Amino acid sequence: MFTASSGSSSSRPYLGGRNAQYDGLINRKKTKYFHFLQIIGFFLKHLDGSFIMVNCCGLVSEKNVPVPLKSISVQLQVRDHVASVSSSLQYANEEDRPLEAVFIFPLPGDAAVSHFSARIGEQEIVAEVQDKQSARDQYHDAVSSGQQAFLLEESDQSSDVFRLNVGCLSPGQTAIVTIIYIIELSVQADNALRFCLPAVLNPRYTPAASAEPPVPGVSSASVIPYILSLSVDVRSSDRISRLESSCPLDPLQFLNAQHTHATVNLSTGHRFDKDVELLLYYENTHQPTAVVEAGAAAAQTGSLMGDPALMISLYPEFPADVMSSLASQSEFIFVVDRSESMSYKMHHGKDAQKRIESAKDTLLLLLKSLPMGCYFNIYGFGSRFECFFPQSVVYSEVTMEAALRRVKCMNADMGGTEILWPLKHIYSQPCYPDHPRQLFVFTDGEVWNTKKVLDLVKSHVDSHRCFSFGIGEGASTALVTGMAREGSGHAQFITGTDRMQPKVMQSLRFALQPAVDNISVDWTVPEGVTVDMLSPPINALFQGQRALIYAQIKGQSSGETEGAVTVKYKLKDQPVTNQLQFTLKPVEDTGLTIHRLAARSVIRSLELQERAGGADMENIRSRIVELSVQAGVSSVHTAFIGVNKDSRQTVKGPLLQRRVPTRSMMIGGPMPRWGTAPLITLGAAGCFTMPVQQQSAVCAPSAKRRMVFQSTDSSVMDAFASASHQAEPELQKDPVLQLVSLQKAVGCWELNAALADVFGKTEDEVTNQKPAQVDGSVWATVLALIWLYVYKLDQQVEWQFVAVKAASWIRSQKPDGLSQCVCEGNLLLGSQVTEDTLGI
């Protein structure tokens, strides 16, 4: 991890990529859809309604000359918790004929695209937002008549995938396309604000039976023939502590004595072959803030863009004594992506672990860390899905060991990525009373129906909480962050050389901690002024979760210039009140950032209502288009269209359209076919498997009845036992994982040779040092705790719950001679720790 001393942040315009997949044939009178990939996008070659694939890699012409993207320049402006990103992309037509290119590229799922323009020579074309179908018609008419045109639109299936059409570039002509978008920076478990500029867009798996067009993807960026320039400007009401990046940065430059304004650049010559991740740290992260922004001068008073807008940032820090009390009455369901892409390595470095292997190690830690008294289950999914148990089972030594044997057998062998069906199956299962259900979803984020998945998660947020983990570069931000947002959980991304285990265990701590509920927001403003909430209500707020509240200020006050917002909530049934003062004097020079983010929030809520269906669909759609056009931000029903109507000459001759695939087309491969398989089968490995085509039957009440088994059903345990010869646990290479793998569900360790080997001792050495009055398991458990605290303290986030269980078990035994036990353990392991340090 590279650090820009004391601060630094990053941006992310993305246009990095390389693969692409065609999403439909082009009809002259209808909408032309090519799905090429942006940075290494595909070119299509049209021949009598069919397309011929040219077996080349990268973005090249028929003569293997790189075209047409030449460079990417990004400027990132961070203001407290939000950022504005400006990306300039230079394209050149090096063909000897006119060119039309279409690129698919990623943007953050919650981005508000607010500007799109193109410069051809001295001519600048600024696009405007229009109804999507009107924009498409205008684009096709312009291209058909030989005019230069540009079209930018959001994918219907996922809000983090955009399509850019560059039409009618003359031979030798260069175009510079500029895209500006605004985003909320996500908060990480260590309080950092994260910004990521993806270098790749992974292909989104589309089932063969689906009527939806496939979303193309991109593969390794190592062949990209250009470099990325990135500059970052950070302004904050809080002091900037530091900025870290996955890529080399120039030294951070502070521009004032208060350290609230700083700039930094990506080091010169950076090759855009991996995601650029920036982590920004402030000194007082939990300090609430309020910013009032003046409306647009040209906008009508009373409209969303005409009146002042307010953004409140709430990131509460809860009392340590409350957060230290961990709940055991929960149900945990771990949902693991087992599509073929999970066989890819975590990063490009030496000895990089495969994604599926890292997920298996993480499951080991999770299963060992669960509290006694909870329920759990594990799902694997791809083109089909399977669950370890027909319904969640009580956590015990028997069920934990059965699950671990199955985890050892897991492979990335389940085809494509279809997460909707296992989620539907989970949500169809009745919850256990007084055991809130918590989902941990692991995926490399390559699904095609993101919006349907998010709608499903949101519809069950009252009974299910969702933690999501994006694995590897190119994971869909819309999917990973969206599931956590709609499921009132927390999202984590594991990229580069990040280890999965510490991030997942941080989320487990959040899952075990109490949540804030009964949240209310009240406004105190002068007479003549009112405040209208634009954000949806906050139902729950957890440790490590930030909320940004958008509101609109209407009316005017004759005298007073101050207002206040009071946020009330309950934490473990204790009432808490926080009040924040703000000025009614708006900030003028903001570029309408807050207004546009507020408009985006309202638009997303309306889109969710529209997808839910109802009688008012047409009015909702009209309102979305109205807000999108008024605010100048993207939506699913609008697009940015720019046409060079002032060009003195039109392009003559037919346009070249190409498709140049990269080495791999769809990561998931073809969708497996099934015959008349039974609804649910208990496989040889003891897991319940279901083809996704039969999911609809699963949700029927009769199907549910067929799936219910008692958690103690011996046939289930026998099935796992019969598979154990295929899945005998192997000793972990990582010493911590090796030690954890030996722990019992109740929290203790047994005194044996495998444990002694972790300490670098023989079994006789460990046994002979044991105090006579101390039980072997107590001695072994004390030694394990000492070893963790002395030699693996830097990995405490990973083993914290393992240690909590161990200490709790020791206390429950009330052993004699515990002080002597710790003393002898220190002698054996060459350490000096106290009983208080060990928590015993």
Q: Which amino acid is at 490?
A: H
Q: Which of the pair, 645 or 498, is modelled with greater confidence? A: 498
Length of the chain: 840
DSSP state string for 790-811: HH-GGGHHHHHHHHHHHHHHHH
Mean pLDDT of 48-76: 47
Q: What is the mean pLDDT of the chain?
A: 76
Residue 278 has pLDDT above 70, yes or no: yes
Query: CB-based burial of residue 420 (10 Å sphere; 0-12 exposed, 13-18 middle, 19+ buried)?
Result: buried
Give the model's pLDDT for residue 649.
52
Residue 480 has pLDDT above 80, yes or no: yes
Give the model's pLDDT for residue 322.
66
Q: Which of the pair, 89 or 66, is modelled with greater confidence? A: 89
> Do the Cβ atoms of 17 and 58 come closer than 8 Å?
no
Residue 767 has pLDDT above 90, yes or no: yes
Mean pLDDT of 50-71: 38
The correct answer on CATH 2.60.40.1730 for the domain covering 2-284 is yes
Mean pLDDT of 12-22: 31
Mean pLDDT of 5-30: 33
Give the model's pLDDT for residue 136.
92
Kind of pairing between the strands at 464-471 and 491-494: parallel
Give the model's pLDDT for residue 323.
63
From 604, 612, 590, 609, select the one nearest 633 (Cα to Cα). Answer: 604
Mean pLDDT of 309-335: 79
Mean pLDDT of 242-260: 91
- State whether the Cα torsion 350-355-357-363 is positive or negative: positive
List b or e across 477-513, with b for residues whose CB sees 16 or more CB atoms inside 10 angstroms.
bbbbbbbbbbbbbbbbbbbbebbbbbbbbbbbbbbbb
Q: Which of the pair, 328 or 432, is modelled with greater confidence? A: 432
Residue 189 has pLDDT above 90, yes or no: no
Give the model's pLDDT for residue 731.
42
Report the CATH superfamily, name and number, of domain 326-512+700-726. von Willebrand factor, type A domain (3.40.50.410)
Residue 828 has pLDDT above 90, yes or no: yes
- 39-48, 109-118, 533-542: which has the minimum mean pLDDT? 39-48
From 400, 403, 405, 391, select the one nearest 711 (Cα to Cα). Answer: 391
Confidence of residue 599 (pLDDT cuts 50, 70, 90): very high
Residue 702 has pLDDT above 50, yes or no: no
- State whether the Cα torsion 818-819-824-825 is positive or negative: positive
Distance (Å, whole) CA 19 – CA 35: 10
- 42-56, 217-231, 677-691: which has the minimum mean pLDDT? 42-56
Residue 438 has pLDDT above 50, yes or no: yes
DSSP state string for 254-268: E-STTS-EEEEEBPT
Distance (Å, whole) CA 659 – CA 668: 20
> Do the Cβ atoms of 596 and 632 come closer than 8 Å?
yes
From 161, 144, 153, select the one nearest 30 (Cα to Cα). Answer: 144
Query: CB-based burial of residue 50 (10 Å sphere; 0-12 exposed, 13-18 middle, 19+ buried)?
Result: exposed
> Do the Cβ atoms of 145 and 650 come closer than 8 Å?
yes
Mean pLDDT of 689-697: 42
End-to-end CA distance of the chain: 36
Mean pLDDT of 122-148: 88
Beta bridge partners, 579, equal: 566
CATH topology agreement for domains 2-284 and 289-322+517-628? yes
> Do the Cβ atoms of 23 and 30 come closer than 8 Å?
no
Confidence of residue 200 (pLDDT cuts 50, 70, 90): low
Distance (Å, whole) CA 282 – CA 191: 8
Query: CB-based burial of residue 696 (10 Å sphere; 0-12 exposed, 13-18 middle, 19+ buried)?
Result: exposed
Q: What is the DSSP letter of 830?
A: T
> Do the Cβ atoms of 773 and 816 come closer than 8 Å?
yes
Give the model's pLDDT for residue 624.
94
Please name the residue that has the structure tokens 């007084």: 434
Residues 543-579 have pLDDT tens digits of: 767 888 999 999 887 777 888 988 888 877 788 888 8
- 67-76, 247-256, 295-304, 619-628: which has the minimum mean pLDDT? 67-76
Residues 634-653 have pLDDT tens digits of: 899 999 999 887 654 555 44
> Do the Cβ atoms of 824 and 769 come closer than 8 Å?
yes
Give the model's pLDDT for residue 16.
31
Q: Which residues lie below 8 Å from residue 823, measured CB to CB, with a gap of 6+?
A: none
Mean pLDDT of 526-550: 83
* Region for 660 from its dihedrals, namely left if φ exceeds 0, alpha if ψ lies in -120 to 50, beta otherwise: beta
Give the model's pLDDT for residue 684.
32
pLDDT-above-70 percentage for the chain: 75
Every domain of the chain and the residues it spans: 2-284, 289-322+517-628, 326-512+700-726, 735-838
Does the bond joining 536 to the residue before it have cis omega, within 30 degrees of 0? no
Mean pLDDT of 170-176: 81
What are the angstrom distances between the C-alpha of 622 and each of 626, 628, 635? 6, 10, 12
Give the model's pLDDT for residue 27.
33
Distance (Å, whole) CA 379 – CA 381: 7
Structure tokens at 248: 């080399």
- State the architecture of 289-322+517-628 in CATH terms: Sandwich (2.60)
Residues 722-736 have pLDDT tens digits of: 443 344 444 447 899
Residues 650-674 have pLDDT tens digits of: 554 444 443 322 222 223 333 222 2
Q: Which amino acid is at 524?
A: T
Give the model's pLDDT for residue 326.
65
Q: Which of the pair, 519 or 483, is modelled with greater confidence? A: 483
Q: Which residues lie below 8 Å from residue 712, measured CB to CB, with a gap of 6+?
A: 393
Q: Which of the pair, 288 or 805, is modelled with greater confidence? A: 805
Distance (Å, whole) CA 426 – CA 433: 16
Distance (Å, whole) CA 525 – CA 553: 10
